[in-house]
Structure 1
């Protein structure tokens, strides 16, 4: 199945990003994701965070944040490059945790495509909630299709 960017009529200006099958990790664990471009970057939104993404302190688990970043890098880079079906694997990801993320609000990944070669995609970005920066990150992805 290909990834799908489908208009989200309940969120004007956004597309819903349906990645993989409903029972697979991205959709089953992370949940509904929206995506759009703005100012040369992609914004990937984890629309409705749930308790299954929490740590024992009731905020986002660091592993859940990293899983969202890992997923968002692909969606954002693919949207910016105009290649919604591009597949790949993560080669490297550096993450800096800056503030706790709360589960009561959507979480946005701002994705910047810094370079693309024949086999590699270089990204960087931020996870944000409103005006709070939760994480910064860089990532290196290898194309496999």
Structure 2
């Protein structure tokens, strides 16, 4: 059996949340920094990142590329939290995003994700990127689940 690709354990700094990190910190996801996640009582997944200066644009807001990367990673973190995939074994087929407002640096940024439908090979998801009551972006994406090993 291979080593775990993702590390997830209770986060002592945030009761009720679990950490979400690649076991290999030299891969792309690590550029987003610390991420935590939980399943909300309404059944939606909530994934949180903590934007810092490295995630900012020249207006000192969260860079759109950071937001897009966070959304993509959140689709997989949510799907794993829903118990639908194993981490690192699926691919994004499409991702549609509408930027609605600026994200602030140094304030937690949440992806709130819901599953719309699951088929044999596909997951259809949508969600919002929020900071408190402020909406930063909306998104919808499709993930292809892995095929069965031969």
TM-score above 0.5 = yes
Q: Does 1:45 align with 2:48?
A: yes
Given candidates 96, 107, 110, the residue that maps to 1:108 is 110
> Is the alpha carbon distance of 1:82 and 1:8 closer, same or farther for their aligned partners in structure 2, counting shifts above 3 Å?
farther
Instruction: Note the residue ranges of structure 1 that are not aligned, 5 or more in a row.
Output: none
Given candidates 23, 27, 31, the residue that maps to 1:24 is 27
Given candidates 1, 5, 9, the residue that maps to 1:2 is 5
Q: Is the 8 A contact 1:20 1:26 kept in 2?
A: no
Offset, 1:5? 2.0
Aligned to 2:38: 36
Q: Is the 8 A contact 2:77 2:87 kept in 1?
A: no
Q: Does 1:14 align with 2:17?
A: yes
1:50, 1:84 → 2: CA distance? 29
Aligned to 2:89: 87
Offset, 1:4? 2.7
Structure 1 segments (4+ residues) deviating >4 Å = none
2:62, 2:13 → 1: CA distance? 25
Instruction: Note the residue ranges of structure 2 that are not aligned, 5 or more in a row.
Output: none
Q: Is the 8 A contact 1:120 1:141 kept in 2?
A: yes
Taking only aligned residues, the RMSD between alpha carbons, in angstroms, comes to: 1.4
- Partner secondary structure for residue 144 of structure 1: coil
TM-score (norm 1): 0.92
Greater CA radius of gyration, 1 or 2? 2
TM-score (norm 2): 0.89
